[in-house]
């Protein structure tokens, strides 16, 4: 049962998202006022009768309150959340930016994350009505204040800054003995900041004035420097000497259990000139930093398999164009995939149930198939596959009839609405959709958004078992705010022979490169090239899809 405070927050979010998406301004104003009023009520809405609610609130709000009480959520709000790029939720926290301003930044400025907004404001190039020089300076101050309050960051938001800082310090001190360590080196999905280790004393770091180009030192002890980058990312530097550098790098990278298990196998002194030498002394193969979690690395290296790399990915799967809620045209997006050296791409705009995301009606699907067919004639040997991101309805049924789904090369299925389910209902819903013969790939299994919402609970083993039984591929959604399914579940999927697809869920050309973050997460789970669906060459993919089509046809006969 939701409290008044929780309902007030829901209505505030609903009001802001309506403005963000340029929808129903009247309802937005009503809900904003209602949220304020509810926050001051003495009686709990959960215990009030419909008549009592009508005496306190407007009809539109009463209807929504009753929906919340009955279902525990607001269906249209859930839809708006799905349609909103995750980075915009971070932007909502910036003081002074309401729904209307965010709408302008997103739709006119094409800005959907805090980092891009900060960069544009610092450059003074935010050319949008209502955002003059003073406004841009206020935004910079607000973002800096927000950054100071952060305790966790998406790995993708700090990775490049961390790597650039390491290169800068290596150049400045003319030494290779500077490296990332800790969670950022293990490439965990979220991190507390940048951690690094260097064979430079605290005193030398402090007196080197050129360091100020990259770092502001906050405090120091004999062995540790606490600092922040010029864009307010927290930095922790561990200091060591040249002789101990690789030992300390090893100790400060893996989780404690991993480090302990390796060290227990070593007899004698640990003086080494590389991390590889530490594993060699322990009679172990070298273990990549991102795998040092004391989970999958031991079995993986006994099998001596090929750990997936970004360069192994051959095609871009799960993409949206301006046919639904993407930014770029079909042809522009496809050509961008080709220019980046991929062999194929899968265009999977939203299905009709996702009306809030411009979902395609049946006629639109047919028209897009025709457009892709014409495009393929021009682009050969590059291949564009026809697809759809098909909504899984509450019943577990798919959004289109089999007659239409059968015209597509493949079908990606995802849950976008009514996310508040218990584990039993969520699992049953997914499994029924997985068992549909037209299902090819299960998209973002839990619907989670890192640091925003945890996603609905599912029985992962049952869902993975269903995928194995039905030959369905599981997506690692490579959007850095999702990374769903979580890498922790990949070992079981691989054990069951389920293939994995690393999909950018790209809504723009720039987001094709999300693949990088998906590969990073998948490597933590020991994903191999052999079990990665879109690490296979085009002719293999074509044969795979043809075989599935044949199986569906035989089943119907």
Output the CA–CA distances (angstroms, integers) from residue 220 to 184, 191, 215, 238, in the order listed: 21, 21, 13, 10
Instruction: Judge whether 300 lies within some domain.
Output: no
Instruction: Judge whether 492 lies within some domain.
Output: yes
- Please identify, among 270, 295, 320, the residue that sits at the C-terminal boundary of a domain: 295
- The token pair at 537 is 């060459």
**Interatomic CA distance for residues 184 and 182, integer angstroms:** 6
> Do 268 and 287 share a domain, yes or no?
yes
CB atoms within 10 A of CB 508: 20
**What average pLDDT is seen over the chain?**
91
Do residues 270 and 278 touch, judged by C-beta distance below 8 A?
yes
Interstrand relation of 412-414 and 389-391 (parallel, antiparallel or unpaired): parallel
Residue 150 binned pLDDT confidence (cut-offs 50, 70, 90)? low
> Do 349 and 477 share a domain, yes or no?
yes
> Do 367 and 437 share a domain, yes or no?
yes
> Do 335 and 484 share a domain, yes or no?
yes
Residue 471 binned pLDDT confidence (cut-offs 50, 70, 90)? very high
pLDDT tens sequence across 353-373: 988 788 999 999 999 999 999
> Do 94 and 208 share a domain, yes or no?
no
What is the three-class DSSP state of 406? coil
Do residues 33 and 57 touch, judged by C-beta distance below 8 A?
no
Residue 53 binned pLDDT confidence (cut-offs 50, 70, 90)? confident
> Do 240 and 328 share a domain, yes or no?
no
The CATH number of residue 403's host domain is: 3.20.20.140
70 versus 16: the higher-pLDDT residue is: 16
pLDDT tens sequence across 238-282: 999 999 999 999 999 999 999 999 999 998 777 789 999 999 999
Output the CA–CA distances (angstroms, integers) from residue 522 to 85, 516, 533, in the order listed: 22, 10, 13
pLDDT greater than 90 at residue 10: no
Residue 73 binned pLDDT confidence (cut-offs 50, 70, 90)? confident
Task: Name the residue among 238, 253, 236 with its Cα closest to residue 294.
Answer: 253
Instruction: Judge whether 303 lies within some domain.
Output: no
pLDDT tens sequence across 191-200: 999 999 999 9
Question: Which region, left, alpha or beta, applies to residue 22 given φ > 0 means left and ψ of -120 to 50 means alpha?
Answer: left
Output the CA–CA distances (angstroms, integers) from residue 505 to 316, 510, 556, in the order listed: 9, 11, 32
pLDDT greater than 90 at residue 221: yes
Q: How many domains does the chain have?
A: 3
Instruction: Judge whether 78 lies within some domain.
Output: yes
> Do 360 and 389 share a domain, yes or no?
yes
Instruction: Judge whether 509 lies within some domain.
Output: yes
> Do 395 and 450 share a domain, yes or no?
yes
- Please identify, among 149, 173, 197, the residue that sits at the C-terminal boundary of a domain: 149
> Do 320 and 346 share a domain, yes or no?
yes
Instruction: Judge whether 424 lies within some domain.
Output: yes
Instruction: Judge whether 301 lies within some domain.
Output: no
**Upper half-sphere CA count for residue 384 (Cβ side, 13 Å):** 28
**Interatomic CA distance for residues 474 and 95, integer angstroms:** 39
Given the structure tokens 């060699």, which residue do they identify?
Answer: 280
Output the CA–CA distances (angstroms, integers) from residue 47 to 32, 33, 43, 383, in the order listed: 22, 21, 8, 59
> Do 501 and 397 share a domain, yes or no?
yes
258 versus 112: the higher-pLDDT residue is: 258
Percent over 90 (pLDDT), the chain? 62
**Interatomic CA distance for residues 550 and 132, integer angstroms:** 60
**Interatomic CA distance for residues 434 and 452, integer angstroms:** 27
The CATH number of residue 291's host domain is: 3.30.460.10
Phi, psi of 470 (to 5 degrees): -110, 10
- Domain that residue 166 falls in: 153-295
- Please identify, among 95, 120, 149, the residue that sits at the C-terminal boundary of a domain: 149
- In order, the DSSP letters of 340-388 are TT-SEEEE-PBBTT-GGGTPBPHHHHHHHHHHHHHHHHHHTTSEEEE--
> Do 132 and 244 share a domain, yes or no?
no
97-131 residues labelled b (16+ CB within 10 A) or e (exposed): bebebbbbbbeebebbbbbbbbebbbeeebebeeb
**Interatomic CA distance for residues 132 and 313, integer angstroms:** 43
> Do 235 and 338 share a domain, yes or no?
no
Task: Name the residue among 353, 342, 286, 335 with its Cα closest to residue 317.
Answer: 342
Instruction: Judge whether 304 lies within some domain.
Output: no
pLDDT score recorded for residue 40 = 63
pTM, 2 dp: 0.77
């Amino acid at each position: 049962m939701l409290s008044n405070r929780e309902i007030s927050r829901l209505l505030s979010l609903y009001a802001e998202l309506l403005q963000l998406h340029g929808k129903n301004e009247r309802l937005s104003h009503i809900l904003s006022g209602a949220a304020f009023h509810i926050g001051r009520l003495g009686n709990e809405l959960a215990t009030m009768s419909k008549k009592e609610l009508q005496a306190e609130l407007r009809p539109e709000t009463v209807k929504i309150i009753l929906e919340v009480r009955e279902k525990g959520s607001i269906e249209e709000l859930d839809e708006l959340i799905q349609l909103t790029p995750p980075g915009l939720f971070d932007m909502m926290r910036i003081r002074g930016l309401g729904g209307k301003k965010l709408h302008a930044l997103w739709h006119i400025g094409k800005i959907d994350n805090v980092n891009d907004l900060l960069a544009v404001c610092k450059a003074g190039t935010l050319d949008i009505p209502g955002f003059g020089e003073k406004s841009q300076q206020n935004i910079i101050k607000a973002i800096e204040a927000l950054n100071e309050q952060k305790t966790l960051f998406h790995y993708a938001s700090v990775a490049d800054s961390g790597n650039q800082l390491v290169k800068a310090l290596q150049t400045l001190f003319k030494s290779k003995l500077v490296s990332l360590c800790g969670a950022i080196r293990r490439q965990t999905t979220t991190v507390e900041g940048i951690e690094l280790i260097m064979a430079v004393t605290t005193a030398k770091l402090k007196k080197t004035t050129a360091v100020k180009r990259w770092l502001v030192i906050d405090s120091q002890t004999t062995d540790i420097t606490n600092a922040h980058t010029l864009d307010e990312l927290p930095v922790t530097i561990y200091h060591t000497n040249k002789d101990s550098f690789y030992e300390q790098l090893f100790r400060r990278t893996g989780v404690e259990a991993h480090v302990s298990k390796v060290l227990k196998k070593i007899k004698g002194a640990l003086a080494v000139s590389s991390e590889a030498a530490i594993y060699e002394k322990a009679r172990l193969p070298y273990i990549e930093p991102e795998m040092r979690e004391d989970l999958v690395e031991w079995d993986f290296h006994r099998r001596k398999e090929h750990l997936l790399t970004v360069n192994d990915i051959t095609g871009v799967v799960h993409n949206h164009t301006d046919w639904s809620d993407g930014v770029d045209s079909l042809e522009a997006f496809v050509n961008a995939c080709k220019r980046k050296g991929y062999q194929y791409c899968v265009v999977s705009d939203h299905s009709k149930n996702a009306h809030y995301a411009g979902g395609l009606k049946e006629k639109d699907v047919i028209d897009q198939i025709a457009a892709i067919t014409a495009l393929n004639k021009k682009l050969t040997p590059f291949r564009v596959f026809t697809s759809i991101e098909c909504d899984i309805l509450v019943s577990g049924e798919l959004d289109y009839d089999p007659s239409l789904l059968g015209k597509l090369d493949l079908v990606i299925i995802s849950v976008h609405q009514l996310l508040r389910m218990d584990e039993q209902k969520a699992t049953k819903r997914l499994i029924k959709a997985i068992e549909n013969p037209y299902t090819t790939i299960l998209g973002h299994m839990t619907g989670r958004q890192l640091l925003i919402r945890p996603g609905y609970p599912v029985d992962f083993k049952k869902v993975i078992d269903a995928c194995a039984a039905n030959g369905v591929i599981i997506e690692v959604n490579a959007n850095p705010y999702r990374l769903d399914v979580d890498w922790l579940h990949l070992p079981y999927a691989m054990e069951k022979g389920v293939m994995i697809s690393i999909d950018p869920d790209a809504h723009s050309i720039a987001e094709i490169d999300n693949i990088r973050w998906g590969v990073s997460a998948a490597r933590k789970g020991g994903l191999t090239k052999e079990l990665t669906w879109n690490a296979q060459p085009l002719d293999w993919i074509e044969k795979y899809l043809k075989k599935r089509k044949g199986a569906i046809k035989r089943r119907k006969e």
